[in-house]
Structure 1
Amino acid sequence: MERFLMDDLIGWKDSVRRKPLVLNGARQVGKTWLLKEFGARYFENVAYVNLDNNPGLAAQFDAGYDLPRLLLMVQAESGQKVTPGKTFVILDEIQECPKALTSLKYFCENVPELAVAAAGSLLSITFHEGTGYPVGKVDMLDLYPLNFREYLDATDNSTLREIVDSGDEHLLGPFAVKFKELLKQYYFVGGMPESVSAFVESDDLGVVRAVQEGILFGYERDISKHLGAASAEYILSAWRSLPAHLGQENKKFVFGHIKDGARARDYRSAITWLTQAGIATKVPRVSKPGIPLVSYADESAFKLFALDVGLLCALSGLDASSIVDGNALFTEFKGALTEQYVCQQLVSDCDLKPFYWSAENSSGEIDFLIQRGSGIYPIEVKAEENLRSKSLRAFSERYPDTVPRRFSLSGFRDQGWMRNVPLHAIGNPKNWE
């Protein structure tokens, strides 16, 4: 299974200013596999140590930052000789040992020629606890579930991925039906590596759902493990409410929809936890399409998406027939799945920060706003081939300096003021131009 982040890892390895690497990402997105695969391909040997439930290793870091002693410990634990310039050292589940995270500062300062990477779940939360995070002494990369283009590669559709990458409208058009079917398949399978592998190996969506339910159970177990009962209850309630929020026509997150009587002050920290843990994506509202967009963000008004469209399906209880056969249940929820899909591709494949816009005193709303360079792109998402864009047209007239785009199942179409881009082609921003 190829991951596009491999190219970034190669760039990190070859950088003359390389620092120890922290690979961020939610649990089960493939961090450990990717680092091991990268090490096997590009280094003479890999010294891998796992800090989870390993008090002996933790004690070595707690004893101080004598690097020769620590490297001797890594050699003994991994069974691999550590040679700077030849060995790739992986410190996995580093959130279980905060002082191991701090040690990256000393690796950076004292043995910069040694390639060291750390991975672990809930890293962004751990950074704020215990010993200090080595600010300025590490490089960082983010790993997400497989995006749609990676999914095409993984399911033996690399030629179709190459067609998407080509940006050739004349090539994309004849394969529209095939892309549509693969897109619906991706809505169910999603991009969690284990889910994709299960589908490739079994061709059985029931097996995929069992994997997804296991991942969801693991997330909920993590929430209960890392937090007290009271805090866990708030977080679990917010997490489980995602399908209800996204299933509404107005997808703004409303605390009262979690349960009767829910108050924002009780759940704001829960939302922060979910986003820091990487299992949810917060999309804030902006008051106007100014540059930079973040300066106009209203953090009190937002949409909340899951990290993966397949997990959203599982969380929603949508079965395979609902999506593949397109029954009434899918028809009712397809708008939510399509917005989830678009949000996921903007973040994971396009490396963009999504926002949304809504009018203060009307029902007008733009599904997403993103900033690319000096351009602001208002984006309308259509689950089918509906080409009516009343809200987008009104927004474009109000803010003529923006670059309107509509993502739908229709083919490429320029309407002068706006360009339609097929949903399956949005992962390559060249296709937006």
Structure 2
Amino acid sequence: MERVLIDELHKWKNKSDRKPLILRGARQVGKTWLLKDFGKKFFKDVCYINFEQKDVLGAIFEGTLSPQRIIEQLSVYSGKKIQPADTLLIFDEVQEMPRALTSLKYFAEEAPEYAICCAGSLLGVALHEGTSFPVGKVEFLDLYPLSFREFLLANGEEMLLDYILKNGHRDLATFTEKLTDYLKKYFVIGGMPSAVLKWLDTHDFFEVDDVQKQLLAAYENDFSKHAPRQIIEKIRYVWDSIPSQLAKENKKFVYGLVRDGARAREYEDSLMWLSDAGEIIRTYNISKPDVPLKAYADLKSFKVFLLDVGLLRCMSGVSPKVILEGSKIFEEFKGALTEQYVCQELQLFKRLQTNFYWTSSSSAEVDFLVSDGMEVYPLECKAGITMNAKSLKVYRQKYMPKWSLRTSLLPYNKNEEEGIVDIPLYMLFALSAELRIEN
């Protein structure tokens, strides 16, 4: 399956001031596969090192962290000579070997000619717990589940995608039904690579559902295996509460839904662990929509989403059969699947600040705020084709934004007079182009 991030990896390879790169992301989003595919396409050879084999590799990193010594011993260990210009060196599960992380500093300073890419599913957790880190000596990229754009590519729709990217919103009426149908499928299947592969192999939603249940079980097993013992039970409570949190009309995270009598101070470590592991996304309430958005975020008032819409659908017990019932999937679960989808699509715009929402002192709420660092754009997302956005109207009257954004199943429309842009849910990947921002 084609991953769009491979273009960023290629740019990294050709940098004159290249540093070792760390690819971050939750378990099972395809980090190892992507790095191996990148190596196969753009290097003559790949040397893959998995640090879960601690006993064998520990000795190599126990001594002096001289890059040349490490390269010599890894060459012997792997049985292949590591060449600076020709070999991609992949460090997998690098958080399991803190000294390997530290060695990246010396590679950056003394041997930048070596191309080193690292992956670590729980790297964020390891760093939060105090693992030594070569600050300023590495670069980062983040990998998420397949986006809707990548889902189209996986289903062989390169020509359709190229047409959309080339023509934008023009002349899309012919393909609206097809794109909506793909979006329905994406709400059921999501973007976890193993679920998408199962769909491509079988075209059976219930087999996809089985794969998703296995993924959810694997995440839950990680709690017991990797989390500090004192917060394991709390992590499970938080995790299990997410569907009910998102089912509410007001999706603000409520500790009382985690457990009766629960308090913020008891569960903040659990939320932090899930966030560091890449398994949840938090969006924060903004009291004043001004730049920079972070300065106006209320860190005590937030929503919690999962990393993938398909996993949320499965975890919530929404049957795959809902795909057969018209647009019901967009309305099921009080719009939670639609908001989850929009949240994870927004993660892909690295030049935009996206993990924020706005509420008024009354009951008005705008689902997302998007900022390019100069302007703040309200983004309202709706299920289906009903677009009665009263909260957006309240926001516009109060703050008069340059543009207000709405996303639903309605066709594209740009109302210059009112300053409102309607972007179909299946075209959200074109948002940065609409705002004229280079992603």
State the 1:59 CA deviation.
2.9
Aligned partners of 1:2 and 1:153 also within 8 Å: yes
* Residue 365 (structure 1) aligned with residue 365 (structure 2): yes
Q: Where does structure 2 lack aligned partners over 5 or more consecutive residues?
A: none
Correspondence for 2:148: 148
Within-5 A mapping of 1:353-392: 353-360=354-361, 362-392=362-392
**Closer, same or farther in 2 for the Cα pair 1:182/1:153, shift >3 Å?**
same
Letter in 2 for 1:267: Y
Q: Distance in 2 between matches of 1:334 and 1:244?
A: 11
Q: Distance in 2 between matches of 1:247 and 1:425?
A: 25
**Closer, same or farther in 2 for the Cα pair 1:334/1:189, shift >3 Å?**
farther
Correspondence for 2:126: 126
Within-5 A mapping of 1:391-410: 391-410=391-410
Q: Distance in 2 between matches of 1:169 and 1:356?
A: 26
Correspondence for 1:307: 307
* Residue 109 (structure 1) aligned with residue 109 (structure 2): yes
Aligned partners of 2:377 and 2:401 also within 8 Å: no
Correspondence for 1:242: 242
State the 1:164 CA deviation.
2.8
Aligned partners of 2:369 and 2:378 also within 8 Å: yes
Q: Pick which of 153-162 and 60-69 moved more.
A: 60-69
State the 1:120 CA deviation.
1.2
Structure 1 length-normalised TM: 0.96
Q: Distance in 2 between matches of 1:41 and 1:274?
A: 33
**Closer, same or farther in 2 for the Cα pair 1:128/1:302, shift >3 Å?**
closer
Q: Deviations over 1:108-129 (max 9, x none)?
A: 1111101011111111121244
Correspondence for 1:33: 33
Letter in 1 for 2:357: Y
State the 1:283 CA deviation.
0.2
Aligned partners of 1:167 and 1:431 also within 8 Å: no
* Residue 205 (structure 1) aligned with residue 215 (structure 2): no
How many residues are matched?
432
Letter in 2 for 1:52: E
State the 1:350 CA deviation.
6.1
Structure 2 length-normalised TM: 0.94
**Closer, same or farther in 2 for the Cα pair 1:228/1:276, shift >3 Å?**
closer
DSSP-derived class of the 1:312 partner: helix
State the 1:201 CA deviation.
1.3
Aligned partners of 2:331 and 2:384 also within 8 Å: no
Q: Distance in 2 between matches of 1:31 and 1:62?
A: 26
Within-5 A mapping of 1:69-84: 69-84=69-84
Identity %: 44
Q: Distance in 1 between matches of 2:435 and 2:299?
A: 28
DSSP-derived class of the 1:426 partner: helix
Q: Distance in 2 between matches of 1:349 and 1:61?
A: 37
Aligned partners of 2:351 and 2:372 also within 8 Å: no
Correspondence for 2:12: 12
Q: Distance in 1 between matches of 2:58 and 2:370?
A: 42
Aligned partners of 1:98 and 1:130 also within 8 Å: no
**Closer, same or farther in 2 for the Cα pair 1:122/1:108, shift >3 Å?**
same
Q: Pick which of 340-349 and 122-131 moved more.
A: 122-131
Q: Distance in 1 between matches of 2:188 and 2:124?
A: 28
Q: Pick which of 112-121 and 316-325 moved more.
A: 316-325
Q: Distance in 2 between matches of 1:405 and 1:95?
A: 40
Within-5 A mapping of 1:89-104: 89-104=89-104
Q: Where does structure 1 lack aligned partners over 5 or more consecutive residues?
A: none
Correspondence for 1:422: 424
Letter in 2 for 1:207: E
**Closer, same or farther in 2 for the Cα pair 1:129/1:350, shift >3 Å?**
closer
* Residue 269 (structure 1) aligned with residue 269 (structure 2): yes
RMSD over aligned Cα atoms: 1.7
Q: Pick which of 386-395 and 52-61 moved more.
A: 52-61
Q: Deviations over 1:330-351 (max 9, x none)?
A: 7431500000000010112565
Q: Deviations over 1:279-329 (max 9, x none)?
A: 111000000110111111011000111111011111112221023425978
Aligned partners of 2:187 and 2:329 also within 8 Å: no
Letter in 1 for 2:358: W
Correspondence for 2:57: 57
Q: Pick which of 3-12 and 53-62 moved more.
A: 53-62
Q: Deviations over 1:235-260 (max 9, x none)?
A: 11111111101111101111111121
Aligned partners of 1:102 and 1:131 also within 8 Å: no
Aligned partners of 2:223 and 2:236 also within 8 Å: yes
Aligned partners of 1:147 and 1:349 also within 8 Å: no
Q: Pick which of 178-187 and 214-223 moved more.
A: 214-223
Letter in 2 for 1:196: V
State the 1:54 CA deviation.
2.9
Q: Distance in 2 between matches of 1:105 and 1:229?
A: 32
Q: Pick which of 289-298 and 204-213 moved more.
A: 204-213
